[in-house]
Amino acid sequence: MSHTPPAATITLALSKGRIFDEIMPLLAAAGIEVLEDPEKSRKLILPTNRPEVRVVLVRASDVPTYVQYGGADMGVCGKDTLIEHSAEWGGAARSGLYLPLDLQIAKCRVSVAVRTDFDYAQAVKKGSRLKVATKYTAIAREFFASKGVHVDLIKLYGSMELAPLTGMADAIVDLVSTGNTLKANHLMEVERIMDISSHLVVNQAALKLKMAPLRRIIDAFAATVAANTSAALP
Ligand code: PRT
Ligand code: MG
């Protein structure tokens, strides 16, 4: 059986977990319902109630790659992931990605954290060279360069919290949401680098070829985001 879709199919790339869970209400408001639970199914291609729309499940950090190379027409991923992906390509535009909408979901922040017994302010003041472990090397490089702090970046793919605990690094740059993970590992947040939310990413060529159906989905998402934002105002 071939998995190559008919030309009119819209493929949406999502990652399991928080992004999948938080995009569901937006999809529902756009009239799209995913027919299988990714936590229960082993399938990587999930059908929806709309025969022309399907979801592909990929690693969060692979979402921009799928959209860029046309494996998906659109996708949802964090601004953190987008910045790191764009840095590899010399900018979002050069990677052929169109970013029409901040979906305001899966919110968190990128922060610098250190061991509670490490005097970060003093180290910065003294002009010490800091060893910083992170998955977000582009964000970290840009941030410390703008502060004029010299850093040796150590690239990790997960469990960043361990690096300062084992003495491998002085600091980490990681995503923080409640702060519970840092606290549980005797780390503290010392700088907030930027706020993060998830964005809609669209393949520019697909947008031209499938303008009407993609626009309908983008507009429906935008309407829900606008309604949610105004409902959240005091
Ligand atoms: O897990 P995998 O390696 O496959 O990829 P991923 O970690 O990139 O995917 P996933 O699903 O964990 O995250 C997808 C996106 O969700 C991220 O790119 C962010 O944009 C967004 N997001 C929002 C978060 C968080 N909040 C978050 N808290 N991603 C990760 N975390 C982790 C963080 O890295 C840390 O380990 O949660 C921990 C901190 O949480 P608190 O609540 O204890 O502070
Ligand atoms: Mg994760």
pLDDT in tens, 71-101: 999 999 999 999 999 998 887 667 889 999 9
pLDDT of residue 1: 55
Nearest one of 67, 17, 68, 13 to 44, comparing CA atoms: 13
Q: Which ligand is nearest to the CA of 157?
A: 1
* Residue 106, ligand 1, Cβ within 6 A: yes
What's the token pair of residue 71? Answer: 């494996």
78 pocket-lining for ligand 1 (C-beta < 6 Å): yes
Instruction: Kindly give, in sequence order, each residue whose CB lies less than 8 Å from that of residue 132, ignoring residues fewer than 6 positions away.
Output: 112, 140, 144, 151, 152, 153, 154, 169, 170, 171, 172, 173
Q: Whose CA is nearest to atom 4 of ligand 1?
A: 59
Model pLDDT for residues 123-161, shown as the tens digit of each residue: 999 999 999 999 999 999 999 999 999 999 999 999 999
- Give CA angle at 148 (147, 151), nearest 5°: 100
Tell me the angle at which helices 211-232 and 18-29 cross, rounded to the nearest 10 degrees: 100
Average pLDDT of 36-64?
A: 97
The response to whether residue 132 sits with its C-beta less than 6 Å from ligand 1 reads no
Looking at residues 166-191, what average pLDDT do you find?
98
